[in-house]
C-alpha cells in the first residue's frame, strides 16, 4: 500500500514539475508527437476511451499503466482525469519502479 501512495505522489510531483499532461485529447496528441513516454489510464475509464488510447499507445510503442482508478488519479493531480501522460523519462522510470515493487 505504501508503494501505491508513493506512485500516486509521483503523479502529483510530475504534475507540479510540468512533466504530466492530462485529458484524452492532450495525451493523444502527446503520444502522436512522441512527447508522452508513459500513459496512465484509469481502471474505470469507459471501454471506448480505453480501447482508443490503448490502440494509439501500442501503435506508437508507448506503455500503458492501468493500476489506478479515476478517484486515485484525480486526487493525486488535483483534477478530475482518467487519462494521463508522463513526458519525462525520469518520472516514468520512478513510477514504473514503484509499480513493479508492488502497488
CATH number of the domain to which 40 belongs: 3.30.1330.30
Judge whether residue 103 has pLDDT over 70. no
pLDDT tens by residue, 66-100: 999 999 999 999 999 999 999 999 999 999 998 88
Give the structural domain span for 33.
2-100
Distance of alpha carbon 67 from alpha carbon 5, whole angstroms: 12
How confident is the model over 6-33, as a mean pLDDT? 96
DSSP 24-81: HHHHHHHHHTT--SEEEE-TTS-HHHHHHHHHHHHHTT-EEE--S-HHHHHHHHTS--
Q: In whole angstroms, how large is the CA radius of gyration of the chain?
A: 12
Distance of alpha carbon 43 from alpha carbon 99, whole angstroms: 15
Number of domains the chain is built from: 1
How confident is the model over 38-66, as a mean pLDDT? 96
pLDDT at 17: 96
Quote the pTM value. Answer: 0.94
pLDDT at 46: 95
Amino acid at each position: 500500500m505504501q508503494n501505491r501512495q508513493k506512485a500516486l505522489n509521483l503523479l502529483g510531483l510530475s504534475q507540479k514539475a510540468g512533466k504530466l499532461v492530462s485529458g484524452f485529447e492532450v495525451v493523444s496528441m502527446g503520444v502522436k508527437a512522441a512527447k508522452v513516454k508513459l500513459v496512465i489510464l484509469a481502471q474505470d475509464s469507459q471501454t471506448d476511451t480505453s480501447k482508443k488510447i490503448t490502440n494509439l499507445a501500442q501503435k506508437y510503442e508507448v506503455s500503458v499503466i492501468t493500476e489506478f482508478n479515476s478517484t486515485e488519479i484525480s486526487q493525486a493531480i488535483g483534477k478530475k482525469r482518467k487519462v494521463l501522460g508522463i513526458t519525462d523519462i525520469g518520472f516514468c522510470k520512478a513510477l514504473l519502479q514503484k509499480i513493479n515493487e508492488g502497488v
